[in-house]
Structure 1
Amino acid sequence: MPITTFLFDLDGTLTDTDPLHHKAFNTIVARWGRSIDIDYYKTHIMGFPNNLIFDHLFPGMPPEEYLPLADEKERLFRAQLDAEIPPTPGIEALLAHIARIGGRSAVVTNAPRANAELMLKALRLEGRFDALVIGDELARGKPDPLPYLTALELLGSNPLEAVAFEDSSSGVKAASAAGLFTFGMLGGLDEERLKAAGASAAIRDFTAPALWERIGAG
């Protein structure tokens, strides 16, 4: 079946924002004399929704106490964004391919809507996708497959004619659990960790020959 539906994670997939998130989290936890190393970030933060992140960071802290911290962390992240940030190489060519074949696309992210909209604007990709699915606005975010199943429903598609792109274990688990052929984006995690989470293949960016072969444009 031809691939006509393309589902993209945002942070770490369409652009590399992990250093900005890592710095913002460390600003928060420094008040408790703590710091987050890169391995903890990759294992317990990357790709997860804020409720799970803060539950793990502050066991036993009630939501009414950690939610303001989560909101502050996101403000710290947004304050670091420049007016324009570099997209992952090859995305323009891939979006042009999607338009050429009359395909459909969506961004599927655990980022808050304010973050996602600001990032897409800074990437100059605002309005280039058919849907924006926000995990926090659903009953369950990634690693649950619900965000990807929701995107497929919104686009009137099914897993057999779709591919997903994810850079985190949480995101890869969500996409693969939804039955999607999932490209793990190399960067934050190596190929071994991406495939252990369920990635079908690992690529560096959207210029990878394996991607174009999969979608029948190689």
Structure 2
Amino acid sequence: MLTALLFDLDGTLTDTDTLHLQAFRQLLREQDGRELTQAQFDAQVSGRANGELFAELFPGASTAQCQQLADRKEALFRELAPALEPMPGLLRLLAHADTHGIGMCVVTNAPRLNAEHMLSAMGLRPRFEHVLVAEELPRAKPDPLPYLTGLQRLGAQAGQALAFEDSLPGVKAASGAGIFTVGIATTQTPERLMAAGAQLVVDDFEDARLWDLIATMQA
């Protein structure tokens, strides 16, 4: 029985990685003239929480300085994203969940300001009662805690849920929580998503295999 859908945000509900890459590039150029390639972004940045990431990007900076740099980068991102488009098929899936009484939750490594901005920029904020962000939990993805917390908030069991993720840390977190994890191939290859723990990989929410899976879980 399908009772819960848990969604990552960046790259899953909307394709934002190009905008994040632009924001990171602008920040690094401002700070020390560094460049960031697409390959470096995909391998080292995408899907990670800011705390660990910025300490790695700026090893000589204090914790307070890292937080200031992260805040600057996220402000740049929000400036680049005044409006965002939901991934193809997402609105159909949300409507299906509403019709069938399936609980929904956002589980993201993005900061609270970004999460609220992105959902509002898509016109989707009222659709999600629960929006869990890593900075408000003891551990971020790839730890399973964010997804375990999402299940708890929805009153759902892992075996009755689906998780949707585009990043390797996110897939590891969701699959580590025991949830059937659907990889969304916006930022990583299907092969890498499967190796991280995804059990199905699709391009977007229109994929017939996803809807077959949903029908099977609701049968």
Q: TM-score, normalised by structure 2?
A: 0.95
Q: Who is 2:61 aligned against?
A: 61
> Given the alignment of the two structures, is residue 205 of structure 1 paired with residue 204 of structure 2, yes or no?
yes
Once the two structures are superposed, residues 69-104 of structure 1 have per-residue CA deviations (whole angstroms, 9 ceiling, x without a partner) of 00100111111112x321101111111111111110
- Secondary structure of 2:215's aligned partner: coil
Provide the identity percentage. Answer: 47
Q: Which runs of 4+ in 1 moved over 6 A?
A: none
Amino acid of the structure 2 residue aligned with 1:171: G
Equivalenced residue count is: 216
Give, in angstroms, the shift of residue 60 of structure 1. 4.3
Once the two structures are superposed, residues 102-135 of structure 1 have per-residue CA deviations (whole angstroms, 9 ceiling, x without a partner) of 1100010011111111111111111102310011
Amino acid of the structure 2 residue aligned with 1:10: L
Within 2, Cα distance between the matches of 1:194 and 1:121? 28
Within 2, Cα distance between the matches of 1:49 and 1:212? 31
Q: Who is 2:70 aligned against?
A: 70
Once the two structures are superposed, residues 36-58 of structure 1 have per-residue CA deviations (whole angstroms, 9 ceiling, x without a partner) of 11111111111110012112212
Aligned pairs for 1:46-195 (under 5 A) are 46-82=46-82, 84-195=83-194
Within 2, Cα distance between the matches of 1:130 and 1:164? 16
Q: Who is 2:16 aligned against?
A: 17
| 8 Å CA contact retained: 1:3, 1:216 | no
Within 2, Cα distance between the matches of 1:61 and 1:40? 21
Q: Who is 1:7 aligned against?
A: 6
Within 1, Cα distance between the matches of 2:121 and 2:59? 35
| Distance verdict in 2 for CA 1:29–1:184, change over 3 Å | same
Amino acid of the structure 2 residue aligned with 1:211: L
- Secondary structure of 1:127's aligned partner: helix
Q: TM-score, normalised by structure 1?
A: 0.96
Once the two structures are superposed, residues 118-159 of structure 1 have per-residue CA deviations (whole angstroms, 9 ceiling, x without a partner) of 111111111102310011100011111111000000000011
Within 2, Cα distance between the matches of 1:3 and 1:214? 10
Q: Who is 1:215 aligned against?
A: 214
Q: Who is 1:38 aligned against?
A: 38
Amino acid of the structure 2 residue aligned with 1:210: R
Within 1, Cα distance between the matches of 2:215 and 2:147? 22
| 8 Å CA contact retained: 1:169, 1:197 | yes
Within 2, Cα distance between the matches of 1:77 and 1:153? 31
